[in-house]
Structure 1
Amino acid sequence: MRKPFIAANWKMHKNVAESVDFVKQIKDKLPNEKDMEVGIAAQAFSLPSMVQAAGQSGLKIIAQNAAAEYSGPYTGEISLRGLHDAGVSYVMLGHIERRRLFGETNEDVHKKVQLALQRGVTPIICTDETMVQQEVNGEIHYVFHQLMTVLHGISLDQVKQIVVSYEPSWAVGAGQHANPTLAEEGCRLIRRTIADYYSFEIADKIRILYGGSVNPNNISAIMAKPNIDGVLIGRASLDVDNFLRMIDAAKQTEDEAKGDK
C-alpha cells in the first residue's frame, strides 16, 4: 500500500515569519505520519526555520529547487548539500514553471535527480503530459518521454526512492479546473511507463502525485483515483484552514478506500 502524500507548493509566497507561523498552526493537527505524509515546499530562506518549527511533528519540509552541482562558483544557486544539512526531506525538481520560465532541460533535471539521490534528499520529479508512442513488446504504449529522459540511468534501488508529480500544463494556474478522470489517466500512464522501463513491481511502489488546481472542492475526487497517491497543491495551500481541510478530506478518502478492501 502506497502512503498518501499531501504537499503544498507555496512558490514565491510567505516570508520567514509567516512560514514559521503556518507550521506552528498545523503541526499538531496532522494525521499520523505512518498513515499519511504532509509536506510544505517553501522559499529557500525559510526552510531551516521551518524545519526547527516542525520539530518532531513529522511535517516534511521541501525545497522548491536545487542546483545541479554540490558546490562551486554558482552565484544564487541552492546546494543539495546545504539542503540536506538543514534537515530538508524532499526537493522538487523539474517543475513546469522552472522549465517554462528558466529554461531547465531534461538533462538539467536528470543531473539534479542524481545528486539528490546521492545526497539523501528525496526528489519529487515533476513532469507534464509530454508523451510519445513507442512499441513495447509488440504493443504500442504511450510513454512519458520527458520523465524517462530524466530517469535514464537511475538504478532500480534508486528509483524506488523517488516521488513523481504529474502536472499537466492545462491544469496549472489560477482559474483552471482539475479533471479527476484526466488526472487519473495521466498518472496511470506514468505508472505504466515506469513499469515498461523498470518493472510492474517497481512501478507499483512509486508514489505519483497530481498537481494542478487542487482545492477543497475537488481533492476527494482526485484522491479517490487508484493511481493517484497524493497531491501537490498550489494557491489553495496558502491558507491554514484550507490546507487542513484538504488534509482531512484526503485522510477521509483514504480511510474509506481502506474500508472497502
Structure 2
Amino acid sequence: MRKKYNWKIEILGIILALLWIAPLYLMVANSFKSKKEIFMDTTSLPERFNFENYIQAFADMNFLKTFFNSLLITTSSVVIIIIFSAMAAYALARTKSKLSTIFLLIFVSAMLIPFQSVMIPLVTIYGKVNMLNQGGLIFMYLGFGTSLSIFLYHGAMNNVPKELDEAATIDGANRFQIFWYIIFPMLKPITVTVGILNTIWIWNDYLLPSLVINKEGSETIPLKMFYFFGEYTTQWHLAMAGLTLAILPVIVGYFFAQRAIIKGVTDGAVK
C-alpha cells in the first residue's frame, strides 16, 4: 500500500530550515553592505556587493596566519587524541583486571569534572613551567579530550573479537603490530566520530586559548574574532565580514568531507 503523503511534516521541515538559515543570511547579506545600509535595513539584500569589507577584515584579522594557527592546533590535537585514546582503550579492553576497570572508571568520571573548576590552578601550573603557548594548549586538549574518546573507543573495542589478536600472535606479530595493522583499521567508523567531535570542540573553543595563548600572532580564529569584534563593535559591516570569514573554513571543510563524515557517523551508529 502507498503511504499517505504527509505535507505537514514537509512544511515543518521548511520552516525549521528557514529558521536555521535566517541568521546565516543576515550575516552574509550585511557583510556586503555599508554601515549606512545596515542601519537603514538589515533584512534586505545589498544594493551592490562591497568586497572592501572583506579586504579590510582579512587584513585586520591577519586571517591567513590566524587560520593556520587554528589548523595546526586542531589537527595536531585531534591526531594525538585519536592515537593515544585508541591505544589506551585497546590496552584497557584487552587487559581484564580490577586495575584496568579502575582506570576506565577514572577516565569516565573525568568527563563529569567541569573545566571551570580546574582552569585557574591549571593555568597557574602551566605558567610556572612556561607552557602557556601553542604546545601547552595542544597538551591540554589531549588531557581534556581523551576521557570521552577512550570511552567511545573502549565500547567499540569490545565488539572486536579477541581471536584476531590470538591469530596474529601465532603469525608472529607483536602487540603494537596487532593494534596498528589489524585492530585500528577496524575502528575507522568510531575514529571518524571521535575526530568529528574533537574537531568541532577544538576549532570552536574560545575559553582555553584565551587563558593559554598570550603571544600576539599565535591566536586561534575564535580568539582573534573576539578581539576583532570588540574592536569593531559599532562597525557592523566589518564585524559581519569578519564573522563570515571565521565560519567559511568550517563550511568549506564540511563540503569536501561530508561523505566521510556521514559514512563514519552512520557506520558507528549501525555498529
TM-score by length of 2: 0.25
More strand by share: 1
Question: Greater helix share, 1 or 2?
Answer: 2
In terms of Rg, which structure is larger?
A: 2
